[in-house]
A and B are shown apart, each in its own frame.
Chain A
């Protein structure tokens, strides 16, 4: 729509000087005549304004205030951020978030690439495989989290029962700070591999087959074709998946919230033993909604926003950088 005005015949310089009002009116009439199109795109912007833009602005406002949820917000300047810098729990949560994100995203995107190239060459049942891999990403996260929790339960989980059969001692999955992170990362990997694989698959199918044929004639092996043709040509798509995984992965909340939501009355949303599953989003939720400290919660969410921005910028340089 915005590009439309450039196509319009430009008024003569002289006439525009003489009658600027008439030109503006004509342009306004033109804009108004597109009202069905504006109406068609408006639902997104209305919902976005109401449920994203306004809350974001309010959060920004609250980050500089002290508010318990009912009373009047009190302006406190930068003191929420000053507290944040010295808050060990916040830094612990940021560390947890980063570790879980790395443990989840790196294997996830790698496996997704492998799965996509396998799907790409599947001869039979390819539709079934695609649906099967995609299913986890449309499954309820709460259900998956409860399922994973049961499977990895330290004392009665099926994983430890299986290990026991092979004589391997039980692993305290849900109490050790590292295994807690691994289980959460495994969950995220399992859920999003198929989604990313489908995106890669779409990218792979857009690569002209002539390139592969030419490479094969030149004697390139399958591995060489994968690393020299598929990966470089998929780079924009990989960048897209990395950015999306960064934005969503660093906001992990439901997984630890459901897994360690028990004991809710005395120590709600603590992130489990050693607070090893406490992500920044969960910590934000705890401060805002358990402790009624909405100002501090807002400050945490803005800190997380800046952190995600930083990581995305780094990704951009690392993966998309060579073109610039």
Chain B
């Protein structure tokens, strides 16, 4: 039979369709742990969310089960939500970012309470406030602590010296202990070095002051409290550097340039922020120091590992989690991926007590370690981030457009109330 062009096209189209169909069937029928049960544990995390070296060791360490790891790119929370709502291909162990954990807690029934797998016996090894952050209000542990973000004051020792300010971390910590002390030091710094500002923008101060408190925008009774004194105080404090003229008003990526050319004399940030500074401004190596931050420590960032309820082998999944996040392996995570440990026992291990050349040989754990243990316990409601957003937008309006602070406050509160009410919070 002669192969005409028509017949050739028909045959190849059919073959292609057949192959595609076979591939699709093959995919959907392959076991994903949930169906097959126990032999594989799938682990989802994002790039940098866990130490790749520790994960690689875990794959070798667990011989009775196969650990299948996937580094998920893009919007991690969104992809996790999508798979969980589709109830197919749900991982047996998944990372959850610190800013997302609150929105997953109301769905505790979709996860396994890790306390039922023996997590409660390990609780004493981890920081209490972090443990609470991963737990529901009735005490179910959903997220097992990976890392934390204790905050401190990063400052340029050389610029402080030129401005006649204290340079030694202990003295800086004691003399700049309150926000007002810190702002006055900023005025001196800016007077001596007109090109240098104290901090990048007012939103970062607001975020920090709110984080230092024990209450946020919504209380444990699901009632909106963003119009109360503790938030107003944070708002007023945030605007002080603007009024004093020591705010650099950086709301875009020019931060990278500013941090390198001395336009910023200090940064208040979490432990992991050191990596931002050293990669944006490698030329400033040795000039930075860390001291306990004004107004006390707060936490920014840090994540969790959780076991979705669909997991076929929760016992093995929990063994994997507790192995990955043991104090020893957390210390390795700090060296490998700058993940600050959530287990105080790690703080005395050599990986953390080493001197950091970027900070002129300072042992930064002496600042971050005590800060980590002093972070206040604060309840973060599922709608907290959504209700907080208007305050940041309005602060930026005051900062960049000169909007009147009182009007901005009124607008922020009314918007936050409307968003909170929409999310089911009582006003």
Contacts and interface: CB of A to CB of B under 8 A. Distances in A.
A291 B301 CA distance: 18
B345 interface: no
B396 A36 contact: no
Interface in A31-47: 36, 39-40
Most buried by A among B103, B203, B393, B397: B393
A290 B385 contact: yes
Interface in B161-210: 203, 207
B418 A174 contact: no
A274 B254 contact: no
A296 B301 CA distance: 27
B19 interface: no
A172 B400 contact: yes
Interface string A261-281: 011011110101111000000
A303 B98 CA distance: 33
Contact of A149 (B106, B252, B385, B386): B252
Contacts of A259: 252
Interface residues of A, number: 42
Interface residues of B, number: 47
A70 B418 CA distance: 23
Interface string B230-241: 000000000000
Interface in B28-84: 75, 78, 81, 84
Nearest to B399: A273
B228 interface: no
Nearest to B392: A267
Given A273-B396, A291-B383, 15 more contacts: A36-B6, A36-B13, A69-B81, A69-B85, A71-B107, A155-B250, A155-B258, A157-B254, A175-B401, A266-B207, A266-B388, A267-B392, A273-B399, A274-B393, A296-B422
Interface of B: 6, 9-10, 13, 17, 75, 78, 81, 84-85, 99, 103, 106-107, 110, 203, 207, 249-255, 257-258, 263, 300-301, 383, 385-386, 388-389, 392-393, 396-397, 399-401, 403, 415, 418-419, 422-423
26 contacts: A36-B9, A36-B13, A39-B17, A40-B13, A69-B85, A70-B107, A157-B254, A174-B252, A175-B251, A176-B400, A259-B252, A262-B253, A263-B251, A267-B388, A268-B389, A270-B389, A273-B251, A273-B399, A274-B400, A289-B75, A289-B78, A291-B385, A291-B419, A292-B103, A293-B386, A296-B422
